[in-house]
Amino acid sequence: MSYETITYAVDDRVAVITLNRPEVMNAMSLKLCVEIKDAVARADADDDARVVVVRGAGGKAFSAGYDLMDPGAEEFRTGGVESWRRRMNHDLQFTYSVWRCSKPTIAMIEGYCLAGGLEFAQMHDIRYCADDARFGVVETRFSAGIATLAMPWILGQHCRELIYTGDIIGAAEAKELGLVSRVFPKADLEAEVMKIAKRMSRVAMDCLRWNKRAINQTYETMGFGAALAYGAEAAAILDGTETPELKQFNEVRREKGLKAANAWRKAQFAEFE
């Protein structure tokens, strides 16, 4: 199968899926989400692949989040809570694709990893990043909901400050908090991550699958699935009822474009940075 928004390749037992929209910092359109799900399922069924690595093209971003200018997504912004419930469920099922993959999944992150892009990265089994990586739950700064609220399961109480402020943090702090497992110099990121992935791929496939299944079941037993479902519902209610801040952000976005809307949002916080 050929793809329009991603690329897919297998290199010595490692499937590499690349978000390929560098002109928009690999923002995730509905089409990209569909293609990612297909590619992950393809890798899961591929006997030549034992590990899946997901990355972003262009070197500037893993992903800046869901594409706010995606024409196909506009319908979700006009139907109230029920419409947003469908969108949040769509986004949650998309991010679940790497979690439910029976093989280990690794997010290889350089540059920006923000909003929905960070949600997606957090659902991977492991996250490695370059020293230029930047992370943030920036959607909270314009009152948008978090479709996949996995951060409490990774950071514990540390997630509160990041979610409540929408602050962006660098690679070193992300490593300190446990958001990523390792940080590499940008020039070495691909080689180092692929070395780990290929080392991992030398483990028997059944062993990798059963270990992942057992680890995931630990989280499910603790209520992971129920917690994420509640988070998606909270996000649907928040987005569907539209706070004054979100309403103004969307008005600026529609009238003047996303760049102007982001500038308006940034100005609200500038005095306190």
**Beta 61-63 vs 112-114: how paired, if at all?**
parallel
DSSP code at position 169: E
What pLDDT is attached to residue 249? 86
Spatial contact of 31 and 69, defined as CB atoms under 8 Å apart: no
Confidence (pTM): 0.95
Which of the residues in the chain have pLDDT under 70?
A: 74-78
Say how many residues make up the chain: 273
Q: Which of 35, 110, 139, 242 is catalytic?
A: 139
Residue 34, Cβ density class (10 Å: 0-12 exposed, 13-18 middle, ≥19 buried)? middle
Instruction: Spell out the domain ranges in the chain.
Output: 6-242
What pLDDT is attached to residue 57? 98
The yes-or-no answer on residue 139 being catalytic is: yes
Edge-to-edge strands, sheet with 51-56: 6-11, 14-19, 51-56, 105-109, 126-130, 182-184
**Architecture of 6-242 per CATH?**
Alpha-Beta Complex (3.90)
Q: Which of 119, 192, 242, 251 is catalytic?
A: 119
Distance between CA atoms of 205 and 233, rounded to whole angstroms?
36
What pLDDT is attached to residue 145? 92
Selection from 12, 137, 38 nearest residue 93 by Cα:
38
pLDDT in tens, 83-113: 999 999 999 999 999 999 999 999 999 999 9
Query: Angle at Cα 92 formed by Cα 166 and Cα 69, nearest 5°?
Result: 65
Query: Angle at Cα 26 formed by Cα 163 and Cα 89, nearest 5°?
Result: 55
Q: In sequence order, what DSSP letters do the residues of 198-242 get, joined into one string? A: HHHTTS-HHHHHHHHHHHHHHHHHTTHHHHHHHHHHHHHHHHHH-
Torsion angle of the four alpha carbons 173, 179, 175, 133, in this order, in degrees rounded to the nearest 10: -70
What pLDDT is attached to residue 96? 98
